[in-house]
A and B are shown apart, each in its own frame.
Chain A
């Protein structure tokens, strides 16, 4: 075995998928099997006691899903991965692996609306509190930390406001208090940012977005760095005997693997939000082209952003690629190859102009997703963020006139042609509104 460090593009194609040892199949087979036979009762006992590696039941692990997990762990630079049924399932699984009733999280307020409700409503019902703080205010982050805090949480690029987190400062704040930093890397993908390299301990993402890249599957992924001291005492779920696994002390028994082992053996087992092998296989196909797709997304996004910025119908545009963005410096540091392909802008004329704009578009798809190869558009205030109250809406950076674009891979001239039609409709609607018609 030669000693060689393989590059990112090579790993996107190969990591986790050597030829199948049994058949020699070069492409990863889809292991559609709910369960896997034991060779003996002793083998079964060793598997259930976590003393040997192997497949038991596809809710806990599956060979095709494991290949996707290993490839993502390789691309993010982590110790291992756990794939889940969705991005929200990835977050829930990660949180439940380190926190229980009575515990507390500190999270940026500039998050995806679904995450805000998961953290402030659903987790609260389960007894886990979450304090939301302005993502740029590290003093507020530190001030919100309590003795029962178990983790800090931010998105690399906030959805939808496009704020870029100062990941090193977040990691320093977390580690100074003996806490792990959890980062949602969905908008950047490991092509544009690898949060573990900046101190993050757990990376979660919705694999539904750019990782899938074709708008086909719902999926999530957790990758853990393997460097956080889970046994230091701040996380009793990992450093105390677990009644959920015959009093196993995960930190003592598994060392750096403690988080991943508990997340799989207890949380995946009991919560059950597992990924289908079919979806894992589709994701493995998609990851092969991820390093080629992301730069193309970024290139198209820059063209579209430049086009909109020069238009009188556009009141404002937030994209960290622009030098006058408050997040430009952070983007240059953490996203040197581009601040992603999702950004927001505001139309003059408010809500009626926004409605007219979206309804005039022919090529851009009006739907609640991002990170598709096809270009997407949405009005967050009436869709993804409609469950937030006004204060939460403002805190998460959403305004009534805001339109979010997810720039795809079409010919840029076609994207601009369609936007031109949308802007014309928006201008007419704004004029009608101004005339009181």
Chain B
């Protein structure tokens, strides 16, 4: 299903834990690096680069393909696509073979065939959105920057992932700013 609304995107992010980022770059000026670094340091998702040209980015092991990722780590919850639009259908086929539950096309990665392939396979599809921006919409990041989150609520905001039943494997990614309100005993193993 193509997810067009804010509520649908929040629900996807709430139920997802693993993100395989196809085309993640280690070049610190590239948008894909900005998204990778943001997701890694926020620690809400377990984010993994899929890039045959690198072995790791910032200490996170990279896999050469979605197939290689799935063989070791299982099906990813979200495949995040940083590739040119013409490559998108092939990425969708690989994502479906890897058992991906959702595919996320970043800004400008618009390919009708790829969208149709993913939609017809019954997985969730997000098109022409940024995973960093949508994460930041729900975890207060956009609001911190004076950006219009579009959110109106009189309930105390819950951090993204707070309602997720399974906590993250603490060893995989340590949230950078979790120290903001560290409850007593939070560091206990």
Interface, chain A (partner B; CB < 8 A) = 1-3, 6, 10-11, 14-16, 18-22, 24, 26, 39-40, 42-43, 46, 49-55, 61, 63, 65-67, 69-70, 73-74, 78-83, 247-249, 252-257, 260, 264
Contact = CB atoms under 8 A, between A and B. Distances in A.
Nearest to B8: A3
B157 interface: yes
A39 B146 contact: no
Interface stretch (B70-78, B93-101, B119-127, B177-185): B177-185
Interface stretch (B49-57, B60-68, B137-145): B137-145
A23 to B, nearest CB: 9
A83 B145 CA distance: 11
Interface residues of B, number: 46
A81 B130 CA distance: 20
B153 interface: yes
29 contacts: A14-B152, A14-B153, A15-B152, A18-B157, A21-B140, A21-B159, A39-B176, A42-B41, A43-B176, A46-B38, A46-B41, A51-B41, A52-B37, A53-B141, A54-B177, A61-B145, A66-B143, A69-B146, A73-B148, A78-B148, A79-B148, A80-B142, A80-B145, A249-B29, A252-B31, A253-B31, A257-B133, A260-B145, A260-B147
B111 interface: no
B167 interface: no
B156 interface: yes
Nearest to A265: B145
Contacts of B7: 1-3
Contacts of B165: none
Contacts of A80: 142, 145-148
A225 B64 CA distance: 39
Given A1-B6, A49-B28, A51-B38, A18 B145 contact: no
Given A18-B153, A248-B29, A70 B148 contact: yes
Contacts of A53: 136, 140-142, 144-145
Contacts of B151: 1, 18
A248 B28 CA distance: 10
Contact of A255 (B31, B147, B152): B31
A210 B136 CA distance: 32
Interface string B24-59: 000011110110011001100000000000000000
Given A1-B6, A247-B29, A18 B176 contact: no
Contact of A18 (B31, B41, B156): B156
B10 interface: yes
